[in-house]
A = this chain, B = another copy of it.
Amino acid sequence: MIDIRDRVRNSALHAKIVSAEEAAAIIKPGMNIGTSGFTPAGYPKAVPLALAERMKKEKFQVNLWTGASVGKELDGALAEANGIAKRLPYQTNEAIRKMINNGSIQYTDLHLSHVAQMARYGFLGGKVDVAIVEACAITEEGHIIPTTSLGNSASFVQDADIVIVEVNVTQPLELEGMHDVYIPKDPPNREPIPIVKADDRIGTPYIPCGVDKITYIVPCDLPDAVRPLAAIDDDARAMSGHLIEFLNNEIKHGRLPKNLLPLQSGVGSVANAVISGLVDSPFENLSVYTEVIQDGMLDLIDAGKLTFASGTSLTPSPEGLKRFYTNIAEYRKKILLRPQEISNNPEVARRIGVIAMNTAIEFDIFGHVNSTHIMGTKMMNGIGGSGDYARNGYLTFFFTSSVAKGGAISSIVPMCSHIDHTEHDVDVFITERGVADVRGLSPKERARVIINNCAHPDYQPMLLDYLERAEKATGFAHTPHLLEEALSWHIRFMQTGTMKK
């Protein structure tokens, strides 16, 4: 077994060090398992792999609650063992996605800031039975030093009767001090979250736990299974350019300070490309208040443009992670990880005025956004934190390429096939074609700006035709729709392979 005794600083705790198999044996069928992890960062690996082996033999299931998506050693292994009854609040794993869309896993897609409090309130079907969290180290007092994410770990540890800590020796000890753990009290005793700037520290650098509360400690030497980012393509470059131009104009008109406001950026290649594009912008002294810190933010730090980044997870590409580990002494001065209940908190997002930038699967001409479902039925990943920020941002952007599948799908449709963000929640849409600034506009005004500025030319005439016929048919009603046709673009795609007529 890997020797982790130097990382378990209270020698009385050494007696609790067991193998992953021994720890996994404590889990009973039907339990609610709350784990660390937010994106493939900081999730437990050894115990889930051992649990999956046990599940294959014993045929049982648990409910899996995490921060967000997690790596293959957890989501993948448990799904392949058919070991998950209910999954929440977010996922990106192919095996799980398949099972969510064939009815074998029940999936509850939640606002990421809501999860910890809903678990504490007892709203998710019982309480957390077992918390499994990855750690760099355990302090003399039995407190847990987290690794590359915080997610819901602290709240899960607080709630669970059984706490299993995986001490991961691949996670550098320099991560210690990069966390700020704060668990809000529940109503009616909750107090203001005292954050007014991205770099405010309000909690402890560890997850409060205590020697007695730890059930098992398990060694692990598997690194985070981070994923490569797609190369920055022309569409992403164009969107980044449009964003910079738009923000410049806002500054010019006095609607934004010169160093902008704290940036929030969704997860994935497009979001990363947009952030990375800011390296070539005129903006200085930027700050970030977001959920996931990706390569683009390291680029901004390297370029001297970013003074501070607050998140709940550090998930660069494999190259980015290497870069981070190599320069951790410098990066740690400018990066802080918080519980997702704080990183994504509407209270803080609205107070500090985040610039919320997230990606859409599709949006419609009246400004509703689908972030989750393919053709209205199949779950892609989940809403994630987009709702936490979009509703509360100072300025709220949604990005997408104007077409998908080589032009067979228009990302701008008459009516979204699923709606995660409503017309009340978005300020600006950006595609590679341009910018639709819909602030203060009525639905019919929005429709023309969105069609003209964001839609692909192949679909612009079709969209305008729909709008004009709907206006006539409804007598220019507030949101003119032809209900018989509203979803016909999606139906046509499923029947013919293209939304084109």
CB within 8 Å of B: which residues of A? Answer: 86, 88, 100-103, 106-111, 114, 118, 121-125, 186-188, 190-194, 196-197, 253-255, 257, 261-262, 346-347, 350-353, 368, 373, 375-379, 383, 387, 391-392, 394, 417-425, 427, 439-442, 444-445, 470-471, 474-481, 483-484, 486-487, 490-491, 494
Chain B nearest Cβ from A403, distance in angstroms: 20
Q: Is the CB of A188 within 8 A of B118?
A: no
In the assembled complex, the Cα of A351 lies from the Cα of B491 at a distance in Å of: 43
Interface centre among A383, A418, A483 (most CB of B within 10 A): A483
- CB-nearest residue of chain B to A109: B424
Q: Is the CB of B476 within 8 A of A483?
A: no
In the assembled complex, the Cα of A278 lies from the Cα of B278 at a distance in Å of: 55
In the assembled complex, the Cα of A101 lies from the Cα of B476 at a distance in Å of: 6
Q: Report whether over half of chain A's contact residues are helix, strand or loop; otherwise say mixed.
A: loop
**Candidates B101, B125, B262, B347; contact of A477 at CB < 8 Å:** B101
**Candidates B107, B111, B255; contact of A122 at CB < 8 Å:** B255
Interface centre among A111, A477, A484 (most CB of B within 10 A): A477
Query: Which B residues lie within 8 Å of A483 (CB)?
Result: 375-377, 417, 487, 490-491, 494
Q: Is the CB of B391 within 8 A of A125?
A: no
Q: Is the CB of B196 within 8 A of A190?
A: yes
**Candidates B118, B478, B490; contact of A107 at CB < 8 Å:** B478
- CB-nearest residue of chain B to A442: B106
27 contacts between A and B (CB under 8 A): A101-B476, A101-B478, A102-B475, A102-B476, A106-B442, A106-B445, A107-B442, A107-B478, A108-B442, A111-B391, A121-B394, A122-B253, A123-B427, A125-B440, A188-B257, A188-B353, A191-B196, A192-B196, A368-B419, A373-B478, A377-B474, A377-B479, A417-B483, A420-B422, A483-B490, A486-B487, A487-B487
Chain B nearest Cβ from A479, distance in angstroms: 6
In the assembled complex, the Cα of A419 lies from the Cα of B424 at a distance in Å of: 10
Q: Is the CB of A261 within 8 A of B477?
A: no
Query: Which B residues lie within 8 Å of A194 (CB)?
Result: 192
In the assembled complex, the Cα of A196 lies from the Cα of B103 at a distance in Å of: 43
The 4 A-B pairs of least Cβ separation, nearest first, read A187-B353, A103-B476, A379-B478, A192-B192
In the assembled complex, the Cα of A382 lies from the Cα of B81 at a distance in Å of: 48
Query: Which B residues lie within 8 Å of A491 (CB)?
Result: 483-484
